[in-house]
């Protein structure tokens, strides 16, 4: 049987993202937050020189072992946390929403911890979905025959991110493909009726399945 983690069949790609848990001091238990994901394939810029995504391409992005926030200017993959689009505009949404966000300054949970009113407005009275928005590398290295390299020892070094202008890909990674954009949505608001607003909106209670408490 062929299975997929995509919510659209016949997309047979496999994706893994960490689960989100909320710690409840009252019962001393971690409660899992309902989650779903959406996958998009986006081609940045012109179609000229672009290639289809090759079969059996593998990548790791992010750092599952990291438990501290990134500092501004520190190299990082294209991953950021956001409020999802739509719904009422809560306080702080203009900063943390997907479109106008600077992920180097507010792309993890530190922004939310510093803005408790935005957390309450969005997760209690607003739409209430937390999004982890991930973009995978879209420029691949090639072998001696010019074929794309599908994997590497660290599952990272065979690809990089395209520039925002032509030439899109650097010479070391000339094989340009569409960007795989994975949106993981955590339905935090659904936990309010179960655990209470005070527990849910306290980010000290949020933990990823990797053990990370910083986003």
pLDDT digits (tens, 9 = 90+) for 193-215: 999 999 999 999 999 998 888 87
Closest CA relative to residue 133, chosen from 88, 103, 162: 103
| Spatial separation of the C-alpha atoms in residues 86 and 185, rounded to whole Å | 13
Q: Residue holding tokens 């090639």? A: 142
Question: 127 vs 103, 105, 133, CA distance in Å?
Answer: 21, 23, 17
Q: Tell me, what's the pLDDT at 88?
A: 44
% helix, strand, coil for the chain, step of 5: 20, 25, 60
HSE at residue 167, side-chain half, CA atoms within 13 A, is 10
Q: Tell me, what's the pLDDT at 25?
A: 96
Q: pTM of this prediction?
A: 0.80
Q: Render 117-181 in DSSP notation, one character per residue.
A: HHHHIIIIIS--EEEEEEE---EE-B-TTSPBP---TTSSTTEEPPPSSSS-S-TTS-EE--EEE
Kindly give the parts of the chain with pLDDT less than 50.
1-3, 87-92, 106
Name the DSSP letter for residue 212: -
Question: 176 vs 118, 145, 171, CA distance in Å?
Answer: 39, 16, 11
3-state secondary structure at position 192: helix
Residue positions counted in the chain: 215
Q: Tell me, what's the pLDDT at 110?
A: 79
| Spatial separation of the C-alpha atoms in residues 62 and 43, rounded to whole Å | 22
Q: Are strands 206-208 and 20-24 parallel, antiparallel or unpaired?
A: antiparallel
Q: Tell me, what's the pLDDT at 2?
A: 44
């Amino acid at each position: 049987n062929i299975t997929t983690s995509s919510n659209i069949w016949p997309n047979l790609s496999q994706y893994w993202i960490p689960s989100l848990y909320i710690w409840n001091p009252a019962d001393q238990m971690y409660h899992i937050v309902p989650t779903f994901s959406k996958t998009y394939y986006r081609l940045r810029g012109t179609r000229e020189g672009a290639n289809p995504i090759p079969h059996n391409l593998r990548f790791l992005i992010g750092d599952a072992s990291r438990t501290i926030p990134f500092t501004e200017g520190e190299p990082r993959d294209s991953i950021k946390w956001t409020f999802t689009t739509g719904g009422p505009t809560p306080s702080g949404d203009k900063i943390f929403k997907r479109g106008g966000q600077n992920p180097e300054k507010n792309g993890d949970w530190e922004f939310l911890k510093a803005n408790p009113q935005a957390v309450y407005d969005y997760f209690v009275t607003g739409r209430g979905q937390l999004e982890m928005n991930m973009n995978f590398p879209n420029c691949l290295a090639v072998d001696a025959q010019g074929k794309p390299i599908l994997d590497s020892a660290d599952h990272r070094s065979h690809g990089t991110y395209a520039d925002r202008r032509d030439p899109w890909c650097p010479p070391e990674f000339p094989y340009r493909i569409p960007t795989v954009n994975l949106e993981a949505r955590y339905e935090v608001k659904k936990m309010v009726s179960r655990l209470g607003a005070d527990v849910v909106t306290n980010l000290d209670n949020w933990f990823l399945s990797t053990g990370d408490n910083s986003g």
